[in-house]
Structure 1
Amino acid sequence: MSKLDIQLVEPVISFRGGPREAIGCFLRGDLIIHLQKPTKVKCIELKFMGREKIGFSEGTCPIRNAGAIREERELISNTWTFLDPIPTKLTASATRFHLLRKSNPKSMQSRLLPAGKHTYPFEIFLPGNLPETIKTDHVHVEYTLEGKLMTNGVFPCRKIKKHIEVVRTIPDHLNSQGVATAREITDTFAYEISLPKLAYPIGQTAPLDIKISPLSKHFVLHGIKVEIHEKCVYHIRGRDVTSNNIVLSEALPIFDKTILSEDGTDGFFYGRTLPLKLPKFSSLVHPSCDTSTLTITHQMKIVFIVSAPILATHKMQIKVNMNVKMLSCKCMDDHDVALPNYDEDSCYCPLDPVYQRMAHLVLGDVDVDLDDAPPDYEKAIAEERIPSEETRA
């Protein structure tokens, strides 16, 4: 009985920087064959393959008259032959069966390998412009290693297949800069929002720090809600097909007034660091990516529900938008804090070795829902003290 195994030096392939900046890295490992007894072996091969598949059914394809779309392309391919097959010499009487025998594995000569462990190292350089591993409803990028052992006997061919995760990161010093934004809203209140890092893996907890300073004694904070929106743009046949989804919607706990001397109206402000639990890896949320076929972006919306009775009789929603990037759940931060383990096998995040997933976060704009706002707010918009209006659906 023979057994195949593939052991990798780096279980996750990590590119640093975008497709134009990343220099690439090596995929290295060993194909290991365990033989319980001396075995006649015909061929030992290992193949590395990267493929991108695009699929839209006739009912889901938004391109008019396009019908169903099924496309597949090879991204990279390489084959290692550790034991070459030796064709059997053909006699003159078997010449007419040459083509049949040439394509038949039984026509290959065997080599006797002793019992025990046989190790075959392999190495290949992967260019940094390869797309990351991704799986959405319509685009699937995957990388695999497939080992093959051909022997004599009833079951002459044994195979092993291993999926390779490819991700993209940014340098640590960029990620550790964090992100912060602050603004004053029409003499009513001021806010400060900050995150200690620029990007977080799927399933991790992000410490969101929020501080609200009332600038009017009539200001009332009714609540805060956080949403994360995912936008997928498929670049198909010269067209951009877009889909949007809300992957997280969470109401934050009510803030307590923190007393501070000589800070804010009546000497208090609302402040708290909130552990925001990011969504787990599933079919509803994917890592951010930017390839020639698919672009996935994420936007975090912090919604303040406020009122100022002297200015308006109804509650208003002040929205702060920040562009974020979600990273693969198979990563950890730079303080060796373990990610949670998930019940599903597909959600398991390996703890060793540690790979950091960082990405760039760009500050967004602020939107104000002014359906019931007083004239003072419209004047402030005209003076560019508040960003333009966004009508809430």
Structure 2
Amino acid sequence: MVHLTPSPLFQIRLENDSLTMHGSQSESVGCVLRGQLVLAITEPTKFKEIKLSFQGKSKVGWVDGGGIGQCYNNEEKILYQQDWKFLPASKQYHLLKPDNYHWEFELILPGTLPETIEGCQHGSVKYTLKAVAERHTFALNLHTHRKVTLVRSLLSGSLEYSQGAILANNWNNKIDYEFSLDSKVFSLGDKIPIRIKLRSSEKDLKVQEIICVFKEYITYTAGVNHKTDSKVIKIASENNFSRDVNSWYHLMEISIPNDSIYCLYDSQNDIICVKHRLKFYITFVDKVHSQRCELSAALSIMVTPDSYSSDNMNLPAYDENHLSKTYFEDALSDHSTTCHFVNSLYDVEEMNKLPSYRSIASLIPVPLTDSLLPPTYDATINGH
């Protein structure tokens, strides 16, 4: 009977693959990425090298003009790079016995990094973890990767949360208008209530229709060149107005899609800038001369991720050197086997050296969302 050897399990596991930076690029203290690289093998295996890399990369590109005068603008940047070597390459292969192995890593990401931006036509900002376990010449290398999402939210005490938005003016000495919002900061899935006040100084000029358009503007930058695209996300309208009065007060509502596929978060950086506006178009009709005229105005708003409490806005203390309790599922009652993250520069350097085979053949913490590891070799032969 032929016994098939299970393929090695090779995974990147994270405490959280979506990280929040609180405050602008000049305000944020950054965030911390924590995780493990996990390897499970059921037979002695030779490895030349095992390494992990984290990379942030931006890409922008578009075409200007047409025909002979066509010009392609393109720029790619490496925004951040961090590499770990858990089994460094040497003249001889590293022989690992059958067991479950794990290597922990921790990375403090600066708050100046641009947040993740995907779904744009002409560019993106992405962050990715990639790991490679290089084997001998006639064996396939092991590869795994995992996406990391960086989002940015306002600080809880930011003035934007407490400030409303108002636009008031007079149009052609005929119409006094006012558009106002209680807040200019919203999240995906929110409804935006808009108060509209109109007063006509001419008794024959009446409101026929109000249209509100929620628009998204994306500006791409490649070198010294810029390109701005816009798209309509949502439209709301109202045309039920009394023709017997010269002043109107109307409450209008427009909803923000609850999916980042249809609406991106606001982003302020020098690569891809995302902004949002409410644009108003109000049609008036002169009852005497049967003429129509249109007033247009705009209000800027912000679309941000849900804000976090102030207790979560600081980097963890350096003595908090273990993953959160929910990350671990201890299968043994012996707490001496619990894995800890490094808490000194010396420990960081030690992580990049060849680990003791006995030290890394310990219990593998398994997040709830990941599949269970196979039993260790010793457990198998003992009938466990």
Which bracket does the TM-score occupy, shorter chain normalised? 0.5 to 0.7
RMSD: 3.6
Contact 1:46 1:81 in 2 (8 A): yes
Contact 1:208 1:273 in 2 (8 A): yes
* Structure 1 match to 2:236: 251
Structure 1 alignment gaps of length 5 or more: 89-108, 258-263, 336-351, 353-393
Correspondence 1:123 to 2:102: no
For the structure 1 residues 113 and 298, does the alpha-carbon distance in structure 2 shift closer, same or farther, using more than 3 Å as the test?
same
Correspondence 1:53 to 2:59: yes
Correspondence 1:157 to 2:134: no
Correspondence 1:44 to 2:67: no
Give 2:134's aligned amino acid. M
For the structure 1 residues 244 and 139, does the alpha-carbon distance in structure 2 shift closer, same or farther, using more than 3 Å as the test?
closer
* Structure 2 match to 1:270: 249
SS state of the match for residue 176, structure 1? helix
SS state of the match for residue 145, structure 1? strand
* Structure 1 match to 2:81: 77
Of 182-191 and 316-325, the range deviating more from structure 2: 182-191
Q: State how far apart, in whole Å, the 2-side matches of 1:305 and 1:322 are.
A: 18
SS state of the match for residue 157, structure 2? helix
Contact 2:8 2:39 in 1 (8 A): yes
Q: State how far apart, in whole Å, the 2-side matches of 1:334 and 1:124 are.
A: 21
CA deviation string 1:234-287 (max 9, x = no partner): 333333x23332323513244577xxxxxx969x853335242348544x8544
Contact 2:167 2:299 in 1 (8 A): no
Q: State how far apart, in whole Å, the 2-side matches of 1:280 and 1:247 are.
A: 15
Contact 2:28 2:111 in 1 (8 A): yes
Contact 1:231 1:242 in 2 (8 A): no
What displacement does 1:79 show?
1.0
What displacement does 1:65 show?
6.6
* Structure 1 match to 2:321: none
Give 2:298's aligned amino acid. N
Q: How many residues align?
A: 298
For the structure 1 residues 66 and 13, does the alpha-carbon distance in structure 2 shift closer, same or farther, using more than 3 Å as the test?
farther
TM-score (norm 2): 0.65
What displacement does 1:301 show?
0.7
For the structure 1 residues 21 and 218, does the alpha-carbon distance in structure 2 shift closer, same or farther, using more than 3 Å as the test?
same
Contact 1:232 1:296 in 2 (8 A): yes
* Structure 2 match to 1:237: 223
Q: State how far apart, in whole Å, the 1-side matches of 2:156 and 2:281 are.
A: 30
For residues 1-393 of structure 1, what are the structure 2 equivalents within 5 Å?
1-57=7-63, 60=64, 67-88=71-92, 109-116=93-100, 118-135=101-118, 136-151=120-135, 155-174=139-158, 175-183=160-168, 185=170, 186=173, 188=175, 190-201=177-188, 204-212=189-197, 214=199, 218=204, 220-239=206-225, 241-254=226-239, 269-278=248-257, 280-282=259-261, 286-307=264-285, 309=287, 313-327=290-304, 331-332=305-306
For the structure 1 residues 298 and 157, does the alpha-carbon distance in structure 2 shift closer, same or farther, using more than 3 Å as the test?
same
Q: State how far apart, in whole Å, the 1-side matches of 2:16 and 2:88 are.
A: 27
What displacement does 1:31 show?
1.6
Contact 1:229 1:244 in 2 (8 A): no
SS state of the match for residue 23, structure 1? coil
Q: State how far apart, in whole Å, the 2-side matches of 1:238 and 1:189 are.
A: 42
Percent of aligned positions that are identical: 19
* Structure 1 match to 2:359: none
Q: State how far apart, in whole Å, the 1-side matches of 2:106 and 2:267 are.
A: 26
For the structure 1 residues 73 and 61, does the alpha-carbon distance in structure 2 shift closer, same or farther, using more than 3 Å as the test?
farther
For the structure 1 residues 229 and 271, does the alpha-carbon distance in structure 2 shift closer, same or farther, using more than 3 Å as the test?
closer
For the structure 1 residues 213 and 238, does the alpha-carbon distance in structure 2 shift closer, same or farther, using more than 3 Å as the test?
closer
For the structure 1 residues 168 and 302, does the alpha-carbon distance in structure 2 shift closer, same or farther, using more than 3 Å as the test?
same
For the structure 1 residues 78 and 13, does the alpha-carbon distance in structure 2 shift closer, same or farther, using more than 3 Å as the test?
same
What displacement does 1:112 show?
1.9
SS state of the match for residue 173, structure 1? coil
Q: State how far apart, in whole Å, the 1-side matches of 2:69 and 2:297 are.
A: 40
Give 1:157's aligned amino acid. N
Q: State how far apart, in whole Å, the 2-side matches of 1:294 and 1:271 are.
A: 36
For the structure 1 residues 205 and 223, does the alpha-carbon distance in structure 2 shift closer, same or farther, using more than 3 Å as the test?
farther
Q: State how far apart, in whole Å, the 2-side matches of 1:295 and 1:165 are.
A: 17
For the structure 1 residues 286 and 180, does the alpha-carbon distance in structure 2 shift closer, same or farther, using more than 3 Å as the test?
closer
